Amino acid sequence: MRRLLLLSVVISLATVSALLVSLFAFSQNSLASGSPSQGTFTQGATAGPNEPSLVNGTGPSDSVHDDAVVTTDGRPKNIVSVGRRHIGTPYRPSPPGLCRAFRSEDCSCFTRLVFKHFGKTLPESPVKQWQSGRNIARSDLRPGDLVFFKEAGRSRPITHVGIYSGRGNLLHASNYFGKVVESKMRYVRGYSGAKRLNWG
């Protein structure tokens, strides 16, 4: 009876170990192949759904009446308010799912939908969106700039994109939170760079 119990424990441990190894290998292969993780990786033990990584009091905004108001460089002033309308939209990877406004969005779907509102067409992946616009230094970030992350490391592909919303915050569709959120950018690992679209 003891041998049977011991054998059962050994088999269970071997099964769990094999499962963990396969999950780790899948996640590494997925990131290595360039498929976006959509904000899965966050820094710090406090970066949970009820912790300070989320911006308190930020909810959907219906303030889109000033669409025609632009900055001196021609950029619409209300990119952030249009982005905030998506807060709470369920996160769904696309592909394989569809990019559907206010129903299912991943990071690049979210940014595409926000900028489509202003007549800009962005590609379907964060890697391809990186090719849009001009490079912006982190110290020169302005609300409405696209911000990109390489969450698996500097030598890996871009895995995540969001919209800078000011004061160190980021609007993005996050797998970690399971929805579109506005969170503190410092909690998203692997800042890679930022782009500003051309509006002139």
Residues 133 and 170 reside in one and the same domain: yes
CA distance 39 to 22: 21
pLDDT on residue 109: 96
The whole-model pTM stands at 0.72
CA distance 101 to 99: 7
Block means of pLDDT (10 residues each) for the chain, length 200 residues?
62 54 40 46 43 60 43 74 95 90 95 95 94 96 96 92 96 93 92 90
Residue among 86, 99, 107, 109 flagged as catalytic:
107
pLDDT on residue 166: 94
Residues 64 and 42 reside in one and the same domain: yes
Residues 25 and 69 reside in one and the same domain: no
CA distance 59 to 56: 9
Q: Tokens 């009446």 label which residue? A: 65
CA distance 157 to 32: 7
Active site residue 65: no
Residues 78 and 175 reside in one and the same domain: yes
Residues 154 and 56 reside in one and the same domain: yes
Residues 16 and 77 reside in one and the same domain: no
Residues 21 and 55 reside in one and the same domain: no
pLDDT on residue 23: 39
Residue 21: which domain range?
Answer: 1-33
CA distance 149 to 153: 9
pLDDT on residue 45: 34
CATH number of the domain enclosing 180: 3.90.1720.10
Residues 103 and 28 reside in one and the same domain: no
pLDDT on residue 36: 42
pLDDT on residue 86: 95
Active site residue 117: no
Residue among 86, 99, 109, 160 flagged as catalytic:
160
Residues 96 and 174 reside in one and the same domain: yes
pLDDT on residue 94: 85
Which tokens go with 139?
């110290």
pLDDT on residue 192: 96
Beta bridge partners of 193: 148
